[in-house]
Structure 1
Amino acid sequence: MRAIIDIGTNSVRLLIAEKDEKGEWKILKKDLRSTRLGEGMTDKAFIGKGPRERTLKAIEEFTAAARLAGASEIFAYGTSIMRDAANGGEFSDEVTAVAGIPVRILSGKEEAYYSYIGAAGTSSVVTSVVDIGGGSTEICMGFGTDIGMRHSFKLGCVRCSKQFDTTTPRGLAELKKHCFDLFRHTELMDSVKNVKRWIGVGGTVTSMASMLQELEVYDSSKVQDFIIHQEDVNAMLKKLSSMSYDDKCHLTGLMPERADIIVAGVAILDSLMEYFALPEIMVSDRDLSEGLLDADVLRPNNE
């Protein structure tokens, strides 16, 4: 039995799984705590005392839960905030000292790779996986496990909520321009023009699927493989940006903890779909955590 603890910019997630008789991972438990480790995050990231204490508490609780469930292997992974923050390595050492588990800080390209593995698996068509997180957005293209282009952008719902005023049309326009500028300065367009299938992962897209279906309670079976159309994203962005914080907190399908960052996340998704002319994107509830289950044997070959 193996447990994965994903230490993200917005939330800490736990996944416990074991292999079945076919040697495939069976998910036993998933849990999440919104600890906002990247609170106040800008491009000069620093992990503050409050976020550090909240996140350490969640990691301790998840480690205890994993041991209680019988997990013989517990691995923790740090993402955007931990690789960008001046004190990210220091926090990693603190996690190991307090919780007694090793922490590996993923590079942006590693994060893109494992998100792809978790969501696309051995896809039989050329696929791009987009992971919109709290501090970064990754895009990874591949065919089966043959990986092509991978890129990590400093775009995330926590980071961009701090950088831009998402409550005004001008602020949203500036955010979208920022997204386009980052996309433009890569060679992505040539790389992804033949992609047949786009998959979105992360809290922004799963929240979109939940809001569009008006799910009172999050249901991974209804979120998995849900299709989001570009016009739905555009309409949702207009709706959310005109709502008060309190109204967003009570919106069916949206976790209240995401109310203050969801507009930035949807703006990033809207920008991506517009820039790459995507009529639709498929949502996956399987993502980075699932990909990291095999991180001991699967490594990107062109890191």
Structure 2
Amino acid sequence: MAQRADMAAPAPLAGARAPDPANGRPGRHGARTYAALDLGTNNCRLLIARPEGDGFVVVDAFSRIVRLGEGLAASGRLSDAAMDRAVSALSVCADKLRRRHVSLVRSVATEACRRATNGGEFVRRVYDETGIALEVITAEQEARLAVLGCHALLEPGEGPALVFDIGGGSTELVLLDTAHATPKVVDWFSAPWGVVSLTESEPHDVRDKVACGAAYDRMRARVRQAFTAFAERALPPGDRPRRLLGTSGTVTTLASLHLDLPCYDRRAVDGLIVPAAAMRGISTRLSGMTVPERATLPCIGQERADLVVAGCAILETILDLWPADRLGVADRGIREGILRSLMARDRLIR
């Protein structure tokens, strides 16, 4: 459910114009400024934008790794430390919503809040402390929003296509029929394995190469077991999709390593088409490294070093079940899907 921005501050008066972030003058879309907030198991992300043409222009953005789901698999609860980190990040988001005079915001929470026994308590705390009304969405809503946000990057072609979103606490797989102007969701599946939940399922000595390699093999086996029923149900062998599009920190990080970027650059990664063999090669290389070794690599660092290999295990399993020569990479998804749906509802874009 979308929330009017007076949750955090008085909304602009009717007809008032929000300031243009580039020059301080009123924006030409007036007060029509929208925001999408996605609180996942690993990340907190905010995007603020105004409609432009058949899309939108980004006014402001924010992203922080909060690891909200840390320890959730073992305890079934969000820890106090994890909730504190998330509330701190959400307070930054609330301040940006005020300063950017956002008219309408939709704030969603995903797998960690779906699974946690104290998820409802956390949502109430967030509202009390930040004014942000989190909506805990279903796995199906999450999958559909991700597709809405990134399907424009699918390679042209015939036959079905597969979009996947490797999150912190789950992975969504969406089979699309692209014979229409807007791709149609044929089937979808959500597995409870994301980079945080899968990493925590296989504790091991992160400084031992042999232990890291063995844990990687076990991760792949877990994911394959979870995905196989969907593969057999929805994707018969003679009709396997040859077009894959991934949206997640895993695929964007691996794409950055493929390009040998010294630091992450969204402009170079979003919309990139990468040979599947190259992504497999990077995954294999990372799985054979210790966590300290991975932490030295550009675009990984300390924050992602322990989690990226779980993402690699999920990605390689997807490529095993749905072999393709190339893989599309999207640095867009749920937030962009939210923005497009809000603006379309107000008939500002199609």
Normalising by structure 1, we get a TM-score of 0.91
What is the match of residue 34 of structure 2? 2
Q: Is the 8 Å Cα contact of residues 153 and 271 (structure 2) preserved in structure 1?
A: no
Q: Distance in 1 between matches of 2:342 and 2:274?
A: 33
Q: Is the 8 Å Cα contact of residues 130 and 201 (structure 1) preserved in structure 2?
A: yes
What is the match of residue 159 of structure 1? 197
SS in structure 1 at match of 2:323: coil
Greater Cα offset, 251-260 or 284-293: 251-260
Give the share of equivalent positions with the same residue, in percent. 27
Q: Distance in 2 between matches of 1:105 and 1:205?
A: 25
What do the CA deviations read for 1:119-175 (whole angstroms, capped 9, x no partner)? Answer: 004966543210001100001122324221111111101000000147433322221
What is the match of residue 138 of structure 1? 172
1:109 is the counterpart of 2:143: no
Instruction: Give matches, 1:5-154, under 5 Å.
Output: 5-20=37-52, 22=53, 24-42=55-73, 45-121=76-152, 125=157, 126-142=160-176, 143=178, 144-154=182-192
Q: Distance in 1 between matches of 2:76 and 2:261?
A: 34
One-letter amino acid of the structure 2 residue matched with residue 174 of structure 1: R
What is the match of residue 169 of structure 1? 213
What do the CA deviations read for 1:24-61 (whole angstroms, capped 9, x no partner)? Answer: 22222222111110112327632000000010010011
Gaps of 5+ in 2: 1-32, 205-210, 346-350
SS in structure 2 at match of 1:185: helix
What is the match of residue 259 of structure 1? 305
Cα shift at 1:286: 1.6
SS in structure 2 at match of 1:31: strand
What is the match of residue 238 of structure 1? 284
What is the match of residue 316 of structure 2? 270
1:189 is the counterpart of 2:227: no
Q: Distance in 2 between matches of 1:8 and 1:190?
A: 32
What do the CA deviations read for 1:196-250 (whole angstroms, capped 9, x no partner)? Answer: 4211001111111111112122111110122233322332222212223222122
Q: Is the 8 Å Cα contact of residues 129 and 140 (structure 1) preserved in structure 2?
A: yes
Q: Distance in 1 between matches of 2:74 and 2:245?
A: 27
Normalising by structure 2, we get a TM-score of 0.79
Cα shift at 1:293: 1.3
Q: Distance in 2 between matches of 1:100 and 1:152?
A: 30
Gaps of 5+ in 1: none
Calculate the aligned-residue CA RMSD, in Å.
Answer: 2.2
Q: Is the 8 Å Cα contact of residues 240 and 248 (structure 1) preserved in structure 2?
A: yes
